[in-house]
Every structure is written in C-alpha cells, then in structure tokens.
Chains A and B, each alone.
Chain A
C-alpha cells in the first residue's frame, strides 16, 4: 500500500519553510480534519480534566479554582462503603459471565450455521439471528421481562408444560438469578451479530481443504475439528483479547432496565452505583471517584490483555 502511494509525496525536507509550504498546500486537508479533532478533544478528552473533581469538594456554580481541595477523602469514603465492594463484585461477575458466554456461544453457532447445506435456510436463520441486535435494550428488556413473567410468560409456561416446575418461578424478583438473566439476555441479543466475523473467517478457508479431507474419509465432525476450527483460531484469539480489554466497561444500561429494587444487591454495577449515589444525590465528587476507579481498572485490564496478546502474536492491538 505504502509503495504505491509514496509517489505523491514531494521530497521530504525538514525545514520550517517546507513545513509551512506543505501546510498551505494541504489547507483543505487541515480544514477537514482540525474541526473534528477539536470536537473530539472537547467531548473525549476534556472530561478527563473533570477527574480533578474527585480530589475537590465540588460545589456546582463555583469555578475550578474556588473549589476546596480535599485530597483522597472521597476515595477513602469509597473504600469504606460496603456498597462499593458489592458493586465491584457485581461488575466483575457480570463482566466475566458475559465475556465467557458472549465469546464461546457465537463460535459454536457460527460453526453450526456454516454446516447448514441449504443456502436459503442459512440466509434466513442468519437474518433472523441479527434481529435482536438492532432493537434497543429498552425493547429487549421489555420483551425479556414479558417472557420471564409469572403470569403467562413463555418461559414459565414452557417449563410448566414440560412438568419441570410445578409453579411459576419469579425470575425478575430473585437476586441470585439476576446475573444469569443479564448474561442470557446478552446472548439472546448479540449471538447472531457476533457470528458475522467468524462466518467471514470461515468463508476464507479454502474449499480444497475440505475436499481433501472428504477424500480421506473424514466425517463432518472431524472436518470441523481439524479444518474449520484451526482456520478461525487466529480470529478467535483477536476477538477474545479485544473483549478482555472492554471487560469492566459494561456500563449500566442492561442492569438499569432489567433490575428492580428487589434484586438491587445483585444488579448494581459500578456505573449504576455512580449514577445512584453520585449523580442522583448530587455527590459529584464521590461519583467521579467511582468513575475514576472504574476507568483505571479497565485500562489496567486492557494493557494486561494487550501484553498477553503481544506475547502470543507479536502484534499489538493498541
């Protein structure tokens, strides 16, 4: 790519005059890039400046320099709050469960889908499986709550019909079921969508490999094990590492929508905790301390994941 494109480059000279000359030449490029870079600076980088709030006793309406500095007071408060450890546990639990399920199930589904010989059927199932990805979490949460409800919910009806249970389970009111419900909802919503990349990787495997295997008398299952699976292993590793990087940044959307007061001990994530006990109560400094903790942990996870990734593939994702 670079070899083709360098033809447009004039001779590089490292003097100020040539810099400004080129700057003028590229004025349209600058005009197309600079406004958006400034934009990204305001909305993505400026909030980091807001982290100072966590070390101040922030009062709305006062300027930055008039705020009172309190050092690590809010972090000390945070680490003494039982709710914080509860929120941390919930965040980690739901992240890890979501990571495992959201990583393994799409691989299995992609491999199975690839084995469907009838192309029309394959396309139909694919299109259907993308559907939940496109609806909002508000809609998904409404549907899931309906399906799991005790009066005429499809899941309870099915389990009762099969005589697995004798009376409806109150899915949405049981704290110990909440993590599982969130994970299952995520799987229901995103599995189809997450197969796209794997299906693309599978379609890149040469058909001659399968032909050779068939000639050697390999069964379909053996073909999956020895051709399809090794063929997508690289993609699997990359996607796994990338999802580890996003491990703790699960936010609060699902938990907010699917949770209720009865399951709060299991539904409150760090972000939801910041929303309820920071923003909701006007404790901006305390809430910011929660956000900082969350960000720092996810950056550490990202670098750890990237370090492992580098060791395995000699490449970096950041």
Chain B
C-alpha cells in the first residue's frame, strides 16, 4: 500500500511538471509576440533594424505613433471602424433579441417556420461571387451600409439568446400578459432587462466581428478612401511590405528601405488596432464563457 502511494506521488510529481511546463509554454508563446510588437512600436525605428529587441524598447520613442497618426487614412479608418462597431452591434442586438423572443414563445404560430428558416442560413451559402453580385445589384457598393446591413441577422446569435430566454420562468410573461401588456411591451420591459448577460455576450461577439472585419472593405469599398477601416489600412501596410519584399528581392538594400514602410510603424499600427479589444475583453470574460457554453448546448 505504501509502495503504491509512493509510486503514485512520483507519477503525480512528473504529471505536475508536465502540466506547469505546458502552461508556461502556452503562456509565453501567446504573450511574447504581443509584448515584442509592443516593444518595437515604442523603439526608435533605425535602432530596431539592428534587431535584438525582446519585450522592452531599447531606445524609447513616441515617434512611430506620431508618424502613423499624421497619416489621414488612419484617422478616417479609426472613425469608420468605431462607427461600424457601434451601429453594427446595436442593430445586431435588436434583430437577434427580437427574433429570439418570438422563437421562445411556444404559442407563436410561425415559430417552427422561422426557426427552420434561420437554422438553414447557417449551412447554406451562395458563395463569394453571387453575394458580390447581389451587393452590386442592391447598389450597396461604396456605401457605409455594406458594413452593417448584410450581416444584420445572425442565426447563431438568435439561438444563443433564445436558449437564455428559455431558461427564464415563463410565469413572468404570463403575469405581464394578465396585466394587459402587449407582446412588444413584454419584450421591451420584461425580457430585455433579464436577458442582459446573454446580450453582453452577443454584443462582444458582434463588436469584435465588426472591429476585426476587413474583407467587406476590400471587396466593396476598396477604392473609397472615405469609407476605409482600420483593419483594411493595416492590411494594406502589411501586404504592401510582403509583396514589395518579393518584387525587390535582389535589388540593393537602400532602394528596398525607401520603399518599405519601417517595421516599427507597422508594429505601431498593429498596437493601435489591437488595444481597444484588449482593454475590453478581460472584463467580459465571465459573460462570453457563459454564452459559448449556452450556444454549444442548444444550437
């Protein structure tokens, strides 16, 4: 018995070692790239070329940030990105919560139809080009609407909120009904306030999706400077450098340096694009963990 216990504790110790080793590797592999980018963004750009920057700047400077904020595309991009995030999130919340409410009502005549109709949208997709033609035919090319309108109804979000509403006591709705409230009032006054945790999760998903989107800008508003987004601007900077690097391979170094935007500037834009999300997500962790598990159980 004692021998067995000793053996077990030995294997337990090795097990613990593996566990802590693994989580250390994961933590470092996740954090280091971000810290490295942050350090380079605050480091003098000519100094950075020498290399060897790890997680703290060697020659501290704000100059990289000054350079990028002098660039007008970034300011416009920032405005449009904030705008699409706010509007897109609000519209998405309204549509998802309203649909979820109607689907949670077992007495709703069209419930089965609406539910199946929405569920199918998760699996059928016309594909890139038919969608592109549709946007063109609707005259949405080169408009702000293309950022917030096409993705307005998301079946996944509807089902997450629906499963949350299903978990609320139905008696609440009944008593409101007896008090003479109509269905819209029940939705607005009774259901919405109680659904806040689920709405917070969905708001986070929607906001992150909007903030991070760039393909719609690239496809539909690529030539419209007034509707550019932060992610699209960053994409152009990063892509231009890699493709230039291909084209300029073999030419002399000074010529290449003149063409390529310095690494530090790239890193500074990356930080500007990333920071808003980094500030928000740790505080919402409680909600999205709950939302993820809700969504996976029901949908």
Contact = CB atoms under 8 A, between A and B. Distances in A.
Contacts of A212: none
Interface stretch (A27-35, A76-84, A86-94): A27-35
A274 B288 CA distance: 35
Given A23-B109, A33-B102, A200-B289, A287 B128 contact: yes
B121 A146 contact: no
B128 A279 contact: yes
A257 B34 contact: no
A26 B26 contact: no
A32 B174 contact: no
Interface stretch (B56-64, B66-74, B276-284): B276-284
Interface in A1-42: 1-2, 4-10, 19, 22-23, 26, 28-33, 36-37, 39-42
A69 B52 CA distance: 62
Q: Which of B5, B31, B102, B213 is most buried by chain A, counting CB atoms within 10 A of its CB?
A: B102
A167 interface: no
Contacts of B213: 136
Given A33-B98, A217-B5, A284-B129, A40 B121 contact: yes
Contact of A136 (B118, B212, B282, B288): B212
Interface in B188-216: 208, 211-215
B158 to A, nearest CB: 9
Given A125-B26, A291-B126, A1 B243 contact: no
A141 B238 contact: yes
Contacts of B53: 152
Interface in B240-258: 242-243, 246
A44 B124 contact: yes
Given A32-B184, A46-B134, A138-B231, A292 B127 contact: yes
A261 B273 CA distance: 26
Contact of A32 (B18, B98, B126, B131): B98
Q: Which of B4, B12, B153, B173 is most buried by chain A, counting CB atoms within 10 A of its CB?
A: B153
B179 interface: no
Given A39-B95, A50-B126, A132 B277 contact: no
**Interface residues of chain A: helix, strand, loop or mixed (majority):** helix
Q: Which of A40, A45, A154, A218 is most buried by chain B, counting CB atoms within 10 A of its CB?
A: A40
Contact of B134 (A50, A146, A154, A219): A50
A262 interface: yes
Contacts of B15: 115, 219-221
Place the interface of chain A in its size category.
35 or more
A135 B130 contact: no
Nearest to A292: B127
Contact of B11 (A22, A46, A135, A221): A221
Interface in B17-63: 18-20, 22-23, 26-27, 29-34, 36-37, 51-53
A146 B99 contact: no
A130 B281 contact: yes
B187 interface: yes
A29 B183 contact: yes
Given A33-B99, A135-B277, A154-B32, A271 B23 contact: no
Contact of A154 (B27, B33, B129, B155): B33
16 contacts: A5-B106, A33-B102, A33-B108, A40-B118, A40-B121, A46-B134, A48-B126, A116-B19, A138-B235, A145-B238, A219-B15, A220-B12, A220-B15, A262-B246, A288-B127, A291-B126
Interface of A: 1-2, 4-10, 19, 22-23, 26, 28-33, 36-37, 39-51, 53, 60, 109, 112-113, 115-116, 121, 124-132, 134-139, 141-147, 151-152, 154, 172, 188, 191-192, 196-197, 200, 217-221, 238-239, 245, 249, 253, 257, 260-262, 271, 274-275, 278-279, 284, 287-288, 290-292, 294-295, 299, 302, 318
Closest 4 CB pairs of A and B: A47-B126, A291-B127, A50-B130, A136-B212
Given A44-B120, A116-B23, 16 more contacts: A26-B107, A29-B102, A29-B110, A30-B110, A32-B99, A43-B150, A47-B125, A47-B127, A49-B126, A125-B23, A134-B277, A146-B37, A220-B11, A260-B246, A279-B219, A294-B127
